Structure 1
Amino acid sequence: MDFDIVLVIALVIAVVVFLQLRSVLGKRTGFERPPFDPYSRQPENAEEKENDTVVALPKPEAKAADDFSDIDKIAPEDSDLNKGLRAIRKEDATFSPNSFLDGARVAYEMVVTAFAKADKNTLKSLLSDDVFAGFSSAIDERDKKGETVKFTFVGIDKIEIIDASCEADIAQLTIRVESEIISATYDDSQKLVDGDPQTIAEIKDIWTFARNVKSRDPNWKIIGTEDGE
């Protein structure tokens, strides 16, 4: 039987390549992208490169056991808020109130924008099950009515931690947010039914975040939202 030497060589090369790929596939290289954690990064700088490449910032370094200087700058030393923040720091030496607020800014914008756009996937990643159920139900009701929302997030005027606690390994932080948005809701005939597309609305919210400080998951979940008026 005659053999085509070119075909034989091609088959040998294919087998070698396959074996090499097989030895590599499934191995972790250490460069896999971690789950998105908005609380570990700061807001994007307005002077970022035009390609919008985001460089992840390192997590805060662990503080000395008796170093509460950053906390004392946020809340009076003998206040309940200061005691709550210290309690979290004692359980998680890398906890930084300022870094948390930087991440909370990002999370807040993501949530209000995702709600307007009916982006349930983003909401589910940031909200507790109970809070997500409420947001999801409101989105479904809006869809059932055939309503659409045109939304622009203008910015956050003020954000601050107003309460903190750590009990049974669960850290909780409550923040007050004052933001500005432009929101207009239209029915299925494109008639304006809520909001104003030409007016910036001032919004005040109080949100509570929680995290198990013993968990390897660094993400905080939003476990409560209420009107801050």
Structure 2
Amino acid sequence: MNEIFDPLTLILLGLAVFILFKLRSVLGKRTGNERPPFDPYSKPEQPKGQANGQDNVIPLPNQTAQPQPEPVGEPGPGGNMVIDKVAPAGSALNSALKQILSVDRSFEPEPFLEGARAAYEMIVMAFADGDKKALKSLLSRDVYEGFVAAIEDREKRGETIESTFVGIDKAEIVEAALKGSTAQVTVKIHSQLISATRDKDGEVVDGDPSKVSEVIDIWTFARDTSSRDPNWKLVATESAE
């Protein structure tokens, strides 16, 4: 039994404890929350709500930056068929969409609508959340200033909006125009939304937190077709009665 208290044994035991303590102090201990090892070939994780690493700007499908702009001219037979699917041949809308296609060969109405639906949801929710940063890159300057004024007015009153986006029932192009190099496309959107505004005391002053409401909005998106920037921005809003 006396061997347990041998001085050499005690010295070695104390040295081992000291080394273990130093290793733990330098290396730390695992908690399960450590960052994974850096992988230079992995795609960077995007913050929630950010699209394509462009500060929430939503590039509408098939609106990718082109190395060189397509020459201006009449759309080919394939382009005409694409336009005829969404606007009756001979109509003013059909003619306007073909004008846009003549200066932007990558424009396609159906993929455009997909992007417009995505942008609509993001803008509606960003406004409800008071997310000015998300809105800034999605809206034209005038529309952005209007949204910000509404948000700040709401904040001054101490009001908050609770909003749940249910979905979009229908989205259709109702108007289009080419003004110089700027293409404008107006979309009528039928959506479903649960929304309620509460005052600073938490009382509901507008809307209903338990009711799904049908909302019809008419939004106009625009893009400079001479720019390498493929993104469209919201330039006008209107609520349909």
TM normalised by structure 1 equals 0.75
Cα separation, partners in 2 of 1:161 and 1:216, compared to 1, 3 Å: same
Deviation track 1:114-140 (CA, whole Å, cap 9, x = no partner) reads 000000011111100000011000000
Contact 2:63 2:231 in 1 (8 A): no
Counterparts of 1:58-137 in structure 2, within 5 Å, are 59=64, 65-67=76-78, 68-137=80-149
The letter of the residue matching 1:38 is: I
Residue in 1 that maps onto 2:237: 225
CA apart distance, 1:65: 3.1
Residue in 2 that maps onto 1:213: 225
Structure 1: gaps (5+ residues): 1-28, 42-56
Cα separation, partners in 2 of 1:60 and 1:74, compared to 1, 3 Å: farther
Residue in 2 that maps onto 1:40: 60
**Structure 2: distance between partners of 1:170 and 1:58:** 15
**Structure 1: distance between partners of 2:209 and 2:231:** 34
Residue in 2 that maps onto 1:202: 214
Cα separation, partners in 2 of 1:97 and 1:167, compared to 1, 3 Å: same
**Structure 2: distance between partners of 1:225 and 1:58:** 22
Specify the SS of the correspondent of 1:218: coil
CA apart distance, 1:77: 0.8
Deviation track 1:125-156 (CA, whole Å, cap 9, x = no partner) reads 11000000110000000000000111100000
Whose radius of gyration is greater, 1 or 2?
A: 2
Deviation track 1:155-202 (CA, whole Å, cap 9, x = no partner) reads 001100000111211100001011000001111111110100000011
**Structure 2: distance between partners of 1:163 and 1:64:** 19
The letter of the residue matching 2:162 is: K
Sequence identity percentage: 47
Specify the SS of the correspondent of 2:202: coil
Residue in 2 that maps onto 1:145: 157
Aligned length in residues: 185
TM normalised by structure 2 equals 0.72
Contact 2:191 2:215 in 1 (8 A): yes
